[in-house]
Amino acid sequence: MPILDTTLPAPKQALDDLAFFGGRPAFPEPLHVGRPNIGNREKFLTRVNDTLDRKWLTNDGRYVIQFEKRLAELTGVKHCLAMCNATIALEIVIRALGLKGQVILPSFTFIATAHVLQWQDITPVFCDIDPRTHTIDPEKVEALITPETTGILAVNLWGWHCDIAALEEIARRRGLKLLFDSAHALGCSYKDRMIGGFGDAEVFSFHATKFVNSLEGGAVLTNDDELARKTRLMRNFGFVAYDQVASIGTNGKMSEVSAAMGLTNLESIDEFIAINRRNHKQYAAELAGLKGITVLSNDDQKKRNYQYVVLEIDAAETIVSRDELMQILYRENILARRYFYPGCHRMAPYNSYLSSLSLPQTEKVSERVLSLPTGTSISPADISTICGVIRMVVNNGREVSAKLRSQAATST
- Cα(93)–Cα(45) distance, integer angstroms: 32
Give the least confident one: 142-156, 280-294, 299-313, 378-392. Answer: 299-313
Domain boundaries defined on the chain: 15-36+269-336+373-411, 41-266
| Nearest in space to 17 (alpha carbons), one of 319, 389, 320 | 389
- Looking at residue 13, what is its pLDDT? 85
Contacts of residue 3, defined as CB under 8 A and 6 or more positions apart, other chains included, come to none
Q: What CATH number labels 15-36+269-336+373-411? A: 3.90.1150.10
- Looking at residue 8, what is its pLDDT? 52
- Cα(217)–Cα(83) distance, integer angstroms: 6
Could you report the per-residue pLDDT of 238-273, keeping only the tens digit for each? 999 889 999 999 999 999 999 999 999 999 999 999
With 60 as the cut, is the pLDDT of residue 3 above it? Answer: no
**In Å, what is the CA distance from 132 to each residue of 166, 279, 297?**
16, 22, 10
With 60 as the cut, is the pLDDT of residue 283 above it? Answer: yes
Quick check: bond before 340 cis, omega within 30?
A: yes
- Cα(119)–Cα(366) distance, integer angstroms: 25
264 SS3 class: helix
- Cα(64)–Cα(136) distance, integer angstroms: 33
Kindly state the average pLDDT of the residues 156-170.
97
CA atoms within 13 A on the CB side of 216: 8
Could you report the per-residue pLDDT of 58-77, keeping only the tens digit for each? 999 999 999 999 999 999 99
Confidence band, pLDDT 50/70/90 cuts, at residue 412? low
- Looking at residue 11, what is its pLDDT? 76
Confidence band, pLDDT 50/70/90 cuts, at residue 132? very high
- Looking at residue 12, what is its pLDDT? 81
- Cβ neighbours around 73 below 10 Å, total: 11
| Nearest in space to 344 (alpha carbons), one of 113, 144, 163 | 113
Kindly state the average pLDDT of the residues 310-335.
97
**In Å, what is the CA distance from 366 to each residue of 100, 164, 370?**
29, 23, 9
- Looking at residue 9, what is its pLDDT? 57
- Looking at residue 25, what is its pLDDT? 96
Query: Which architecture, in CATH terms, is 41-266?
Result: 3-Layer(aba) Sandwich (3.40)
With 90 as the cut, is the pLDDT of residue 4 above it? Answer: no
Report helix angle 256-266 to 62-75, nearest 10: 40
Kindly state the average pLDDT of the residues 326-348.
97
- Cα(29)–Cα(289) distance, integer angstroms: 29
The answer to whether 172 and 186 are in contact (CB under 8 A) is no
With 90 as the cut, is the pLDDT of residue 95 above it? Answer: yes
CA atoms within 13 A on the CB side of 259: 27
- Cα(313)–Cα(318) distance, integer angstroms: 7
| Nearest in space to 372 (alpha carbons), one of 357, 360, 363, 382 | 382
- Residues paired with 189 in a beta bridge: 194
User: How many DSSP H helices and E strands does the chain contain?
Assistant: 14, 16
Domains 15-36+269-336+373-411 and 41-266 are alike in CATH topology: no
Q: Give the strands of the sheet with 309-313, arranged side by side.
A: 293-295, 309-313, 369-372
Kindly state the average pLDDT of the residues 3-26.
79
Kindly state the average pLDDT of the residues 352-356.
92
Residue 375 burial (C-beta neighbours within 10 Å; 0-12, 13-18, 19+) = buried
- Looking at residue 407, what is its pLDDT? 82
Could you report the per-residue pLDDT of 181-200, keeping only the tens digit for each? 999 999 999 999 999 999 99
- Cα(263)–Cα(257) distance, integer angstroms: 10
